[in-house]
Amino acid sequence: MSAGAPVRHLYVHLPFCASRCGYCDFVTVVGRGGQHRAYVDALLAELSLERGVLAPRLESVFLGGGTPTFTTPAELRRLLGALPPAEEVTVEANPETVTPGVGALLRDGGVTRVSLGAQSFQPRLLSMLERGAGPDDVRRAVYALRDVGFDNISLDLVYGIPSQSAADLDADLSEALALEPEHLSCYELEAKRGTRFTHAHGAELARQAEAMESYFERVVARVTGAGFRWYETANFCRLPQLADGRDLRSRHNLAYWRSRDYLGLGIGAVSTIHGRRWRTTPRLGAYLAALAAGERPPREVEELSAPVRRSERVLLGLRLDEPLALEPGLERAVDWSAVERLERLGLVESGRSTDGTLALTTHGRFLGGGVTAELLA
């Protein structure tokens, strides 16, 4: 398993949350303070089983959730102290969990970047999302993180919340930008199958789907107008000239979009390494029991064929604002007659015969996945 290039990106899943938000289908576990220690033991056991595939020094570590900052502080500290060093270490945090003490714990644990789930600044929309944090909690969290020295903070927003007007969206963007984050992620709210939210509001989300195109354009216009680079479909970062020359793109997520290999630890975590992808069991009990017995947890494994890998490379790579380099073999993933057609429509720019690249135009990026799906062979 350790044959092949060493893996430089590590995802660690911390599933615990104070409560479950109705729209969320991530692998989460409510409460269970009594099991946080056993879970961190299991994560560290899993890390030692898989460590052979990792490079000695990583490019990125990402602790996602769940709510990593809901994990008992002693366990979060222990975990951070045992993870391999990395140039970028991101932790996802819910605003209401970020106290000055948690901020200091993250900083002392080597975290370089915090991604805060703000979602909205409108109390009525936050309560529709069943969020535990109000707008003041988001502001307090940002100030607490700044106070302990964090200079790389990302905010997550969602748009398309039922009853959210264009003015509500503008207000959310203004509130978020006023906090001067280094990075913003703006996601269209998705109706995830089987969630309470989809049950209650799914029909409304489907009805408003068309209006969401203009909301997306509004987000891009407002955020780029404020000096951010629209570097991925849903992601923006402050331009280097506004950020002391720093490249503030998420290195971890860039690795996904560039189809780099990554190791995922924890329940429900996905890994893609040397042409294989596996998803670890989402069941906490089965995960803890296997690792306590010194065994790998149950996983679903998929062998990725070369054509599948090439298609993914194109689908993900074209989400970025940088042209996709048509590495040897990648040309075969593309339907070149579709490219010609899409080029005439002003959606794609092909540099196949010049610099060997492919990119979406701005118009093409607004249409996103639809365009990319069309140009796959």
Ligand X SMILES: C[S@@+](CC[C@H](N)C(=O)[O-])C[C@H]1O[C@@H](n2cnc3c(N)ncnc32)[C@H](O)[C@@H]1O
Residues that bind ligand SF4 (CB under 6 A): 17, 20-21, 24, 26, 28, 65-67, 94, 117
* CB closer to ligand X, 65 vs 297: 65
CB of 230 to ligand X, least distance (A): 17
* CB closer to ligand SF4, 24 vs 145: 24
Beta strands 183-188 and 228-232: pairing type?
Answer: unpaired
* CB closer to ligand X, 23 vs 287: 23
Choose the contact partner of 20 out of ligand SF4, ligand X, none; CB within 5 to 8 A by kind.
ligand SF4
**Which tokens in the block code for residue 220?**
């891009």
**Which tokens in the block code for residue 68?**
């990593």
How far, in Å, CA of 52 to CA of 43, rounded? 15
How far, in Å, CA of 231 to CA of 239, rounded? 10
At 45, is the secondary structure helix, strand, or coil? helix
CB of 358 to ligand X, least distance (A): 28
Q: What is the DSSP letter of 242?
A: G
Read off the amino acid at residue 337: S
CB of 192 to ligand X, least distance (A): 5
Choose the contact partner of 215 out of ligand X, ligand SF4, none; CB within 5 to 8 A by kind.
none
Beta strands 357-360 and 348-350: pairing type?
Answer: antiparallel
135-147 vs 100-108: helix crossing angle, rounded to 10? 40
CB of 77 to ligand SF4, least distance (A): 21
Contact between residue 111 and residue 98 where contact means Cβ atoms under 8 Å apart: no
Sign, Cα dihedral of 221, 223, 226, 229: negative
- Would you list the DSSP string of 276-303? EEEEE-S-HHHHHHHHHTT-PPPEEEEE
CB of 67 to ligand X, least distance (A): 4
237 by Cβ neighbours in 10 Å (0-12 / 13-18 / 19+) ranks as buried
CB of 2 to ligand SF4, least distance (A): 32
* CB closer to ligand X, 228 vs 339: 228
CB of 99 to ligand X, least distance (A): 16
How far, in Å, CA of 267 to CA of 285, rounded? 10
Read off the amino acid at residue 137: D
**Which tokens in the block code for residue 304?**
């990725």
* CB closer to ligand SF4, 24 vs 61: 24
* CB closer to ligand X, 175 vs 350: 175
Closest chain position to ligand X (CB): 117
Q: Which residues bind ligand X (CB under 6 A)?
A: 23-24, 26, 64-65, 67, 92, 94, 117, 119, 156, 158, 187, 189-190, 192
CB of 165 to ligand SF4, least distance (A): 23
* CB closer to ligand SF4, 130 vs 312: 130
* CB closer to ligand SF4, 205 vs 371: 205
Give exposure, 107-133, as e/b (b: 16+ Cβ within 10 Å): eebebbbbbbbbbbbbeebbebbebbb
Contact between residue 172 and residue 119 where contact means Cβ atoms under 8 Å apart: no
